[in-house]
Chain A
Amino acid sequence: MKKLLVILLSLVMTFSLCACGSKTETTAQADPCEGMTWDEIVEAARGTTVSFYGWGGDEQRNAWLEDFYVPYMKDKYDITLKVVGMDINDILSKLSSEKEAGEDENGSIDMIWINGENFYSCKENGMLYGPFTDKLPNMSEYVDTEAYENNYDFGKPIEGYEAPYSSAKMVMYADTAKTGDALPTNADEFMEFCKANKGKVTYPEVTDFTGSTFMRQLIYETCGSDVWEGVEADKDAVQEAMQPAIDYMVELNQYLWQQGKQFPADRGAMDTMFANGELVMGMTYEALQVGTEIEKGNIPKTVKSFEFADGMIANTNYMAIAYNSPNKAGALVAINAMMSPEMQLSSYEEYKHLTILDLNKLDDKTRDAFNAVDAGEGNLTLDQIGTNRLPETPADIVPIAEEVWRECVVGK
């Protein structure tokens, strides 16, 4: 009798699970903000909650969001902003799981911090809401909508599916107490520099964002920044186009840490080695990082940022809205607020994030406030960061170039 009961119970439980599993596909929903004026959108968003998903490993960014952005949204728009720190890969796997499960209306993600390859694949797979940037007043008011970076993300058209959040530029840094003040300004000098500091320079593996960007930077340095023009996203074509860079990087290997047989797994590992004094040089996509690290006391004051004379890769971070966001109006208002001069200035002052606003479009007082911010010790000047910017590699070429690097450069 007991056995029978056990078997029956387990059967019932299995079936109830199966029953929950079947759910019919829903069709793509209509745009809830269609035809609404901005005031109506703001009104619709009042009293709602917005979930903002983005990378959570930067304590200063976390602190700024909690101390400035969250209260700003509450006070001004009565929106409760929930900041959820998550790696972009996990965010996307979450979003695609929701799509797979047929959760097309009540997703858990409203707003996403995104760019590059991730944006491209999300947009291609219909996981983003849009186009929406034409609805945002601050976009037309304060942003240079004609600028390349506001129309193309890693060479792929944005078409209104994401709005700029902050700006970034790759810079290199070295401890001048160990290397001397003469820092390399081009690929040849960089080779000499590595020779002089043999075994004390490296860059992260290309799976890492910083490592991948630095590889693309070396490709630009050796093949010219127009290297990808007219190149198809095909492995042979990419390899052929970047051949001079492959030769250069293979030659460089002998002077690198571990003779280029191994590379640090990610930027974190490289930063650690630099802080330990194992490396004399590093690179970062946060152009003002050196100043904040000196301020924290993590690195000595003799560390200086530098860049190649022909320019460094620069890009923009963006904010997008999930296709199944239950609160699109709220997300629109939150994104618009992030692009406001107040928030952009505050994030620039508090944690040194470069603004995406067109300073010429701001009133004098705000512009002066932007210009008055001290770049910080060891950093390049803001003029240097603002100019000499090279465009990113097209999103579909990036993974192919990384694959070529793995096959032709590591340990060669």
Chain B
Amino acid sequence: MSKADRKPYMNAVLILTLVIILLPVLIMIVWSFTARWPWPNIMPESWTTRTITELLYGSNDLVSILGSSVLLAVIVAVLGTVIGLMTARATEIYRIRGRRVVSYVALLPLIVPSTVFAMGFQVTLIRMGLNDTMTGVVISHLVAALPYCVTIMMDVTASVGDRLELQAQVLGASPARSFFDVSLPELLPGILSSASMAFIISYGQYFTTLLAGGGKIKTLALVMVPYIQEGDRALSSIYAVVFVGSALVVFFVIELMMHRAMKGER
């Protein structure tokens, strides 16, 4: 759609949506440096820099926590999307027996309350010797992310289908080549949303990380949530800003890489 045929009301909706999304983030930025902001003042009464000091030089090493959170979430995003894609192809294209069961089972973790689920899961992890390890945390996050990945990938796989891929094979391409060169580019938008979804789910997990990681695998959410529970608004806000900001940066990078990849394909 070019700029010319965009309807004026579309712009209005777009701007309104942006304001609704960005305004709370802006307020959080203000709160990050607010010492006191009593009602009904329009601006904070006094400011503080203790939050930025705590964030940068405090008891937690921000860089390593950010690093491990992003790494963990990226692993979950990649694995979740690959598993989601494979499941989707199995049910949508190869039409295995019991494909409906598979698609329902994939949604189960959404139906069972996550606290109940996490506690039983923890017992299993301990028996397998995977508690308090990165692997255990990755598995527990995957379980939380898979329902979304599988559903998204099933939808796009169903709409893309395999006819073009078969066409390529008829023309002599190998199955692998016909998948990577023909179907994959078509699937890319779905892969992007599945990966983003899995990323943000993993990035925001608190309870599962706590139980599976035993508090020893530290993520941003794990450090941030106690401050929110404690009601320390300034510190909660600055962590929330870092949380949202870092997630946005990662999304931007994923988007950029996908863009490059698609350009390369064409």
Contacts and interface: CB of A to CB of B under 8 A. Distances in A.
Interface string B229-241: 1111111000000
A58 B230 contact: yes
B215 A57 contact: no
A278 B211 CA distance: 37
B178 interface: no
Nearest to B45: A300
B214 interface: yes
A87 B228 CA distance: 12
Contacts of B48: 296-297
B96 A3 contact: yes
A142 interface: no
Nearest to B60: A62
B96 A298 contact: no
B59 A84 contact: no
B59 A57 contact: no
A275 B216 CA distance: 33
B90 interface: yes
Contacts of B222: 85
Given A62-B58, A94-B214, A87 B229 contact: yes
Interface string A66-101: 110000000000000011111100100110011011
Contacts, number: 116
Interface stretch (B1-9, B32-40, B249-257): B32-40
A185 interface: no
A271 B231 contact: yes
Interface stretch (A37-45, A223-231, A261-269): A261-269
Contacts of A2: 94
A371 interface: no
Nearest to A96: B119
Interface in B78-125: 90, 94, 96-97, 119, 122-124
Interface stretch (B126-134, B154-162, B179-187): B126-134
A65 interface: yes
Contact of B36 (A21, A83, A267, A275): A275
A108 B96 CA distance: 43
B177 interface: no
B216 A56 contact: no
Interface string A83-126: 11111001001100110111100001100000000000000000
A375 to B, nearest CB: 21
Given A97-B119, A97-B122, A98-B126, A272 B231 contact: yes
A407 interface: no
Contacts of A269: 231
B46 interface: yes
A94 B59 CA distance: 24
A59 B235 contact: yes
A85 B231 contact: no
Contacts of B234: 298
Interface string B195-219: 0000000000001001100111000
Looking at A6, A51, A275, A278, which has the most chain B CB atoms within 10 Å of its CB? Answer: A275
A278 B216 contact: no
B227 interface: yes
Nearest to B47: A297
Interface in B120-173: 122-124, 126-128, 131-132
A85 B229 contact: no
A20 B59 contact: no
A266 B231 contact: yes
Nearest to B40: A277
A57 B227 contact: yes
B58 A59 contact: yes
A23 interface: yes
Given A59-B54, A63-B59, A97-B123, A20 B216 contact: no
Contacts of B46: 297
B175 interface: no
Interface string A268-298: 1111100111100000000000000000111
A198 B75 CA distance: 55
B231 A296 contact: no
B36 A298 contact: yes
A57 B223 CA distance: 9
B226 A85 contact: yes
A276 B230 contact: no
Contact of B59 (A59, A87, A296): A59
A299 B60 CA distance: 26
A55 B210 CA distance: 13
A321 to B, nearest CB: 17
Given A101-B123, A296-B35, A297-B35, 6 more contacts: A21-B124, A82-B216, A85-B226, A100-B123, A108-B131, A268-B232
28 contacts: A17-B128, A20-B127, A23-B127, A56-B223, A57-B232, A59-B54, A59-B227, A62-B59, A63-B54, A67-B59, A83-B59, A84-B216, A85-B215, A87-B226, A94-B214, A97-B126, A97-B211, A101-B123, A102-B127, A267-B231, A268-B231, A272-B231, A275-B233, A277-B39, A278-B39, A297-B48, A298-B36, A299-B36
- Ranked nearest first, the 3 interchain pairs of A and B with the lowest CB-CB distance are A268-B231, A57-B230, A57-B226
